[in-house]
Copies of this chain bind each other. A is one copy, B any other.
Amino acid sequence: MNTHSQHLLLEFFDCDAQSLDNQALIEALMVDAANASGVSIVQKIFHTFSPQGVTGVVVIEESHLSIHTWPEAGYASVDFYTCGDASPENAIAIIQKGLQAKRFELLKVLRGQSLNQQSMLIAQHLSNGN
């Protein structure tokens, strides 16, 4: 069986602080992201921390999606880890728009194969205001 997987590590900066502390909004966004990526949800956990911040993990048949938010810093960290034919790139715009992130960075790591035989893609994106 093919162990090759895509792991997108995403850093969303300058997000809307209220959205980052809204567990219901974050959960809906991650479910939308999963659906847009063409993956199948197995189970999910979402948790709000005190005094603020949300963590969510969505276990999918193709591996997992996760989000951790720091509302006070306007920052969210998101991972899309998918094996098979999923299209996790489809989820990026959904998360960026939902969090109103002004910019984000992406690191793509190919898992299930030697890490030092690959070129890692680091990309920076600025919001176009849409």
Contact = CB atoms under 8 A, between A and B. Distances in A.
Interface of A: 1, 3, 5, 7, 9, 11, 42-43, 45, 47, 49, 55, 57, 59, 61, 63-64, 66, 68, 70, 72-73, 75, 77, 79, 81, 83, 105, 107, 109, 111-112, 114-116, 120, 122, 124
Contacts of A11: 111-112, 114-115
A112 B75 contact: yes
- Looking at chain A's contact residues, the main secondary structure is strand
Given A70-B1, A73-B3, A112-B70, A45 B43 contact: yes
A72 B3 CA distance: 10
22 contacts: A1-B73, A3-B75, A3-B77, A11-B114, A11-B115, A42-B45, A43-B45, A55-B59, A57-B57, A57-B59, A57-B64, A57-B66, A64-B68, A66-B66, A66-B81, A73-B112, A77-B81, A77-B111, A79-B79, A105-B114, A105-B116, A115-B122
